[in-house]
Amino acid sequence: MRTQVGIIGAGPAGLLLSQLLHLAGIESVVLESRSRDAIEATIRAGILEHGTVDLMERIGAGERLKREGFRHDGIHLRFDGQTRRIDFPELTGGKSVYLYPQHEVIKDLVALRLRLGGDIRFAVRNVTLHDLETTAPRLKYVNSQGAAEEIHCDYIVGCDGTNGVSKPSIPEGKLKTYEKVYPFGWFGILCKAPPSSDELIYAQHQRGFALASTRSPEIQRMYFQVDPTEKVQNWSDDRIWAEFRARLETRDGWLPAEGPIFSKVIVGMRSLVTEPMQYGRLFLAGDAAHVVPPTGAKGLNLAAADVQVLANGFEAFYRRGNSEPLLRYSDMALKRIWKAQRFSWWMTSLMHRAPGDDDFRYQMQMAELDYVTSSPLGAASLAENYVGLPMQYAS
Ligand code: RFL
Ligand code: PHB
């Protein structure tokens, strides 16, 4: 069969792109290696920048997000036993973020695409990319029934995340990779308990970082920093709660709301950028091209920003025969990506204790936390980055 744009991966990047292309009158097919049930059940990100919320609304996928999501007008930074709030609307001219879990975004986008007749092929295997240097690239794969199939495309977009096949299909030496691996990871839990706070708490403590986030009034998402080689089975529920109580302590005796823990995972932390995000007729978008540590809550939002730039490029190509914006995609997207990388790295460095960090380093972190939470200019910079930089600074 034939399509205009072949998309690999039905994560936020692939699904948003297919909807943006549809609205521009451009055909696409999405190939996804997992089942619909599996992608709709994977717990990942929680925070949507104001621009991502606008995008969801603009493409017709914002109704449930606005109804069931939670607008967050600030975050709490906790350090040295005290809590300081960063007020987003006050510092950014009225902007906020939304807490709306990534798997809900996925459910809304899949339902929308299928309702509009979108072509998403779930549970495919062995996707391979061919003839990327020509004007007629092809995708080969095995469908969910076990039959081999082929799609002829004008372009291919790799939205297949960190372990996908798109990036490895680019010949060696064509890409430059920048990578920083952090000497810690996050232990993430889901528990059945009421929220500990109406807004997220990011805590810096001598014992290491902790974060109290939420999923719903009944389910909470919390994280604490661990050694990346740590094992989940070493952590009983009691030990986990003792760690949260210690790291989230305040001078006035605040305590997290505790409840049964039903999910425990450890995720590594790294910053990674691949340049350029194009090879011939293959473009990379989202985690397939870059990874951020989760501290700044930027991953999903960067995927959404990439595909907006890319969709504008495809629109210029198909509507006006102008391939210039497509050729500029990588340069344009990377400007925003590097700024989000800087913010994620900065938040990570500010909030975590690395092995070998001395007391001087700790005092520097305390001074910086005091500065960004007491200076309106310091706080405004944090708030502006957290809610998402305006497009004109980042493109
Ligand atoms: P995804 O979501 O990984 O989707 C890729 C899709 O491609 C499929 N795939 C393939 N399909 C066909 N053939 C193949 N060979 C394939 N290989 C893979 C996969 O099955 C999958 O469905 O990438 P995308 O679309 O670029 O989206 C990126 C985001 O998912 C990611 O950046 C965020 O989850 C990161 N992230 C956060 N981002 C935020 O913006 N805000 C947050 O609060 C936030 N918190 C987080 C996070 C990531 C975390 N983890 C688990 C790393 C918290 C955590 C703990
Ligand atoms: C989450 O709710 O999973 C979450 C929130 C904020 C972050 C990272 C993860 O910075």
98, 199, 200, 382: which to mutate for ligand 2, most atoms within 8 A of CB?
200
Residue type, 158: G
Where helices occur in the chain by DSSP H, the ranges are 12-23, 36-41, 50-58, 63-68, 88-92, 102-115, 237-247, 299-320, 324-327, 329-351, 359-374, 376-387, 391-394
Residues contacting 62, CB < 8 A, separation 6+:
53, 56
Q: Which 8-state DSSP code applies to residue 30?
A: E
Protein residue whose Cα sits closest to atom 5 of ligand 2 = 46
> Average model confidence (pLDDT) for the chain?
97
Domains, the chain, with CATH or none: 5-46+101-175+276-354 (3.50.50.60), 178-269 (3.30.9.10)
* Å from CA of 72 to ligand 1 middle: 22
Active site residues: 72, 202, 294, 298, 386
Ligand 2 atom nearest to CA at 213: 2
* Tokens 């504008």 belong to residue: 312
In the chain, % of residues over pLDDT 70: 99
User: Is the pLDDT at 23 greater than 90, yes or no?
Assistant: yes
pLDDT confidence of residue 394: 56
Going by C-alpha positions, the residue among 213, 171, 182 that lies closest to residue 196 is: 213
Q: Average of pLDDT values for 368-379?
A: 98
- Phi-psi domain of 281 (left: phi exceeds 0; alpha: psi -120 through 50; beta: other): alpha
Q: Which of 213, 269, 348 to mutate to test the pocket of ligand 2 (most atoms within 8 A of CB)?
A: 213
Ligand 1 centroid – CA 353 distance (Å): 26
* CB-ligand 1 contact for 267 (6 Å cutoff): yes
Q: Which residue is closest in CA terms to ligand 1's atom 30?
A: 300
Confidence at 347, pLDDT banded by 50, 70, 90 = very high
Per-residue pLDDT reduced to its tens digit, 139-177: 999 999 999 999 999 999 999 999 999 999 999 999 999
Task: Give 254-290 as a DSSP string.
Answer: --PPP--EEEEEEEEEEEEEEE-SEETTEEE-GGGTE
Token pair listed for 141: 């794969």
Q: d(Cα 200, Cα 106) in Å, to the nearest integer?
A: 22
Q: How far is the CA of 196 from the centre of ligand 2 (A)?
A: 15
Distance from residue 70's CA to the centre of ligand 2 (Å):
13
pTM: 0.97
Question: What's the pLDDT score for residue 393?
Answer: 62
Q: Is the pLDDT of residue 203 over 60?
A: yes
Query: CB under 6 Å to ligand 2: residues?
Result: 45-47, 200, 213, 221, 294-295, 297
Residue 395 has pLDDT above 90, yes or no: no
**pLDDT category, 392, cuts 50, 70, 90?**
low
Distance from residue 209's CA to the centre of ligand 1 (Å): 23
Tokens of 311: 């969709």
Q: Which atom of ligand 2 is nearest to the CA of 296?
A: 10
Ligand in closest contact with the CA of 201 = 2
Which residue has its alpha carbon closest to ligand 2 atom 7? 297
Annotate 60-72 with DSSP letters as a single string.
T--HHHHHHSEEE
Tell me if 165 sits within 8 A of 130, measured CB to CB.
no
Q: Determine if the peptide bond prior to 276 is cis (ω within 30°).
A: yes
